[in-house]
Structure 1
Amino acid sequence: MKEEMSSVDIRYVVRELQWLVGSRVDKVYHDGDEIRIKLRTKEGRADLILQAGKRFHLTSYIKEAPKQPSSFTMLLRKHLSGGFIDAIEQHGFDRIVKIRVGDYTLIGELFRRGNVILVDSENRIVAALRYEEYKDRAIKPKAEYRYPPARENPLEVSFERFLELMREEELELVRALARKLNMGGMYAEEISIRAGFAKTTPVKELSDEDLRKVYEAMVKTFNDELRPNIVFKEGNMHDVVPIELKIYEGLEKKYFNTFSEALDEYFGRITIEKAKIERTRKLENKKRQLLMTLRKQEEMLKGFEGAMRENQEIGDLIYANYALIERLLDEFRKATEKLGWEEFRKRIEEGKKAGNRVAMMVKGINPKEKAVTIELDGKKVKLYLNRSIGENAELYYEKAKKFRHKHEGALKAYEDTKRKLNEVEKLIEEEMKKELNVKRIERRKKKWFEKFRWFISSEGFLVLAGKDASTNEILIKRHMGENDLYCHADVYGAPHVVIKDGQKAGERTIFEACQFAVSMSKAWSRGVYSEDAYWAYPNQVTKQTPSGEYLGKGAFMVYGKRNWLHGLPLKLAVGVINYEGEDFVVCAPVEAIKAHTKRYIVIRPGSLKKSELVKRIKRILEKWGYRVKEEDLMAVLPPGNGDVVEVVG
Structure 2
Amino acid sequence: MKLRGMTGLEINHIIKELRRLEGRFIKKIYNIDESSFSLLFHPEVDGRREILIDLRGFTFLTKLKWAKPLTPSPFVMTLRKHLENARIERISQPGLERIVSFEFSRGMRLIAELFGGGNLILLSGDEIVAAQRKAEYRGRKIKVGEVYKLPPSPWQETPNFSGEGLIKILERIPPEERVWKVLTSFGLGPPYLNEVLLKLKIDAEVKISDLSLEKLANEISDLMSRETEPTLYLDGEEIVEYSAFPLSHLEYDRVSRALLSDAIEDYYKSKGISVEDERISSLKREIERQVSLKEEYERSYAQLRRIGDILFSNIHEVEDALSRARSGEEHELIKRVDWKSGKVIISLEGEEIQLDIRRSASENASEYYDRAKKAREKAMRIDKALSSIMERLKQVESSLEERRLELSPKPRKRERWYERFRWFYTSSGNLVICGRDAQTNSEIVSKYMNDNDLFFHVDMPGGAVVVLKVEKEVDQRSIEQAAVAAASFSRAWKEGLSYADVYYVKGEQVSKHAPPGMYLPKGSFYITGKRNYLRAKLELSVGIQETQDGMKLTAAPPDAPFICSVRIKPGSMSKEEAAIKIKNKLIELLSNFKIGGEVELPEDELTLDNIVRAMPPGKVRVEE
Q: Given the alignment, which residue of 163, 168, 171 partners 1:164? A: 168
Distance of aligned partners of 1:254 and 1:285 in 2 relative to their CA distance in 1, 3 Å threshold: farther
CA distance in 2, matches of 1:13, 1:384: 81
Cα drift, residue 176 of structure 1: 6.2
Distance of aligned partners of 1:172 and 1:431 in 2 relative to their CA distance in 1, 3 Å threshold: closer
Larger Rg computed on CA atoms = 1
Cα drift, residue 244 of structure 1: 2.7
CA distance in 1, matches of 2:20, 2:48: 13
How many residue pairs are counted as aligned between the two chains?
A: 410
Distance of aligned partners of 1:433 and 1:224 in 2 relative to their CA distance in 1, 3 Å threshold: same
Corresponding residue for residue 388 of structure 2:
419
Distance of aligned partners of 1:48 and 1:170 in 2 relative to their CA distance in 1, 3 Å threshold: same
CA distance in 2, matches of 1:79, 1:180: 34
2:113 pairs with 1:94: no
2:300 pairs with 1:299: no
Q: Given the alignment, which residue of 71, 76, 79 partners 1:67? A: 71
Cα drift, residue 371 of structure 1: 8.5
Structural RMSD (CA): 5.0
Corresponding residue for residue 611 of structure 2:
none
Equivalent residue of 1:5, what SS? coil
2:430 pairs with 1:430: no
* Contact map agreement 1:193 1:199 (CA 8 A) in 2: no
Corresponding residue for residue 52 of structure 2:
49
Corresponding residue for residue 518 of structure 1:
none
Cα drift, residue 58 of structure 1: 2.1
1:336-485 aligned at under 5 Å gives the runs 341=329, 392-434=361-403, 438-443=407-412
Distance of aligned partners of 1:77 and 1:193 in 2 relative to their CA distance in 1, 3 Å threshold: same
Distance of aligned partners of 1:414 and 1:117 in 2 relative to their CA distance in 1, 3 Å threshold: closer
CA distance in 2, matches of 1:385, 1:290: 37
Cα drift, residue 174 of structure 1: 1.4
2:305 pairs with 1:308: yes
CA distance in 1, matches of 2:97, 2:343: 89
Letter in 1 for 2:167: L
1:111-510 aligned at under 5 Å gives the runs 111-119=115-123, 128-129=131-132, 147-148=150-151, 151-152=154-155, 155-168=159-172, 169-171=174-176, 174-175=179-180, 177-178=182-183, 181=186, 183-184=188-189, 187-195=192-200, 199-206=204-211, 210-229=212-231, 239-247=241-249, 249-250=250-251, 256-268=257-269, 272-273=273-274, 276=275, 278-279=276-277, 281-308=278-305, 310-312=307-309, 314-315=311-312, 317=313, 325=316, 341=329, 392-434=361-403, 438-443=407-412
Letter in 2 for 1:171: E
* Contact map agreement 1:230 1:239 (CA 8 A) in 2: yes
Distance of aligned partners of 1:287 and 1:398 in 2 relative to their CA distance in 1, 3 Å threshold: same
2:112 pairs with 1:108: yes
1:583-598 aligned at under 5 Å gives the runs none
CA distance in 2, matches of 1:224, 1:272: 32
Q: TM-score, normalised by structure 1?
A: 0.51
What fraction of aligned residue pairs are identical, expressed as a percent? 21
CA distance in 2, matches of 1:159, 1:64: 47
Per-residue CA deviation, residues 423-454 of structure 1 (Å, 9 max, x unaligned), is 33333333333456624131389xxxxxxxxx
* Contact map agreement 1:11 1:90 (CA 8 A) in 2: yes
CA distance in 1, matches of 2:409, 2:354: 77
CA distance in 2, matches of 1:370, 1:176: 73
Distance of aligned partners of 1:229 and 1:96 in 2 relative to their CA distance in 1, 3 Å threshold: same
* Contact map agreement 2:228 2:245 (CA 8 A) in 1: yes
Cα drift, residue 283 of structure 1: 2.8
* Contact map agreement 1:341 1:367 (CA 8 A) in 2: no
CA distance in 2, matches of 1:144, 1:402: 72
Per-residue CA deviation, residues 353-394 of structure 1 (Å, 9 max, x unaligned), is xxxxxxxxx66576889999797xx79899999999xx5335
Cα drift, residue 62 of structure 1: 1.8
Equivalent residue of 1:272, what SS? coil
Distance of aligned partners of 1:192 and 1:298 in 2 relative to their CA distance in 1, 3 Å threshold: closer
Per-residue CA deviation, residues 495-547 of structure 1 (Å, 9 max, x unaligned), is xxxxxxxxxxxxxxxxxxxxxxxxxxxxxxxxxxxxxxxxxxxxxxxxxxxxx
* Contact map agreement 1:25 1:38 (CA 8 A) in 2: yes
Cα drift, residue 236 of structure 1: 8.4
CA distance in 2, matches of 1:53, 1:341: 79
Give the stretch that moved more between structures: 100-109 or 8-17.
100-109
CA distance in 2, matches of 1:285, 1:239: 34
* Contact map agreement 1:27 1:81 (CA 8 A) in 2: yes
Cα drift, residue 100 of structure 1: 4.0
Equivalent residue of 1:263, what SS? helix
Q: TM-score, normalised by structure 2?
A: 0.52
CA distance in 1, matches of 2:222, 2:112: 27
Segments of 5+ residues of structure 2 without an aligned counterpart are 415-600, 605-624
CA distance in 1, matches of 2:84, 2:197: 46
* Contact map agreement 2:161 2:224 (CA 8 A) in 1: no
Corresponding residue for residue 620 of structure 1:
none
Cα drift, residue 221 of structure 1: 0.9
CA distance in 1, matches of 2:356, 2:128: 97
Corresponding residue for residue 523 of structure 2:
none
Letter in 2 for 1:412: R
Equivalent residue of 1:38, what SS? strand
* Contact map agreement 2:130 2:143 (CA 8 A) in 1: yes
CA distance in 2, matches of 1:289, 1:162: 59
Segments of 5+ residues of structure 1 without an aligned counterpart are 320-324, 346-361, 446-628, 633-649
* Contact map agreement 1:151 1:182 (CA 8 A) in 2: no
CA distance in 1, matches of 2:242, 2:383: 48
Letter in 2 for 1:5: M
Distance of aligned partners of 1:178 and 1:401 in 2 relative to their CA distance in 1, 3 Å threshold: same
* Contact map agreement 1:167 1:203 (CA 8 A) in 2: no
Letter in 1 for 2:412: R
CA distance in 2, matches of 1:75, 1:364: 82
Equivalent residue of 1:170, what SS? coil
Equivalent residue of 2:411, what SS? coil
Distance of aligned partners of 1:180 and 1:306 in 2 relative to their CA distance in 1, 3 Å threshold: closer
Distance of aligned partners of 1:295 and 1:128 in 2 relative to their CA distance in 1, 3 Å threshold: closer
Cα drift, residue 239 of structure 1: 5.0
* Contact map agreement 1:24 1:83 (CA 8 A) in 2: yes
Letter in 2 for 1:243: F
Distance of aligned partners of 1:233 and 1:143 in 2 relative to their CA distance in 1, 3 Å threshold: same
* Contact map agreement 1:23 1:42 (CA 8 A) in 2: no
Cα drift, residue 139 of structure 1: 6.3
2:5 pairs with 1:8: no
Equivalent residue of 1:92, what SS? coil
Distance of aligned partners of 1:225 and 1:291 in 2 relative to their CA distance in 1, 3 Å threshold: same
Equivalent residue of 1:94, what SS? coil
Per-residue CA deviation, residues 217-265 of structure 1 (Å, 9 max, x unaligned), is 2122123344445568999876543233345x33577765432233234
Q: Given the alignment, which residue of 84, 89, 96 partners 1:81? A: 84
Equivalent residue of 2:120, what SS? strand
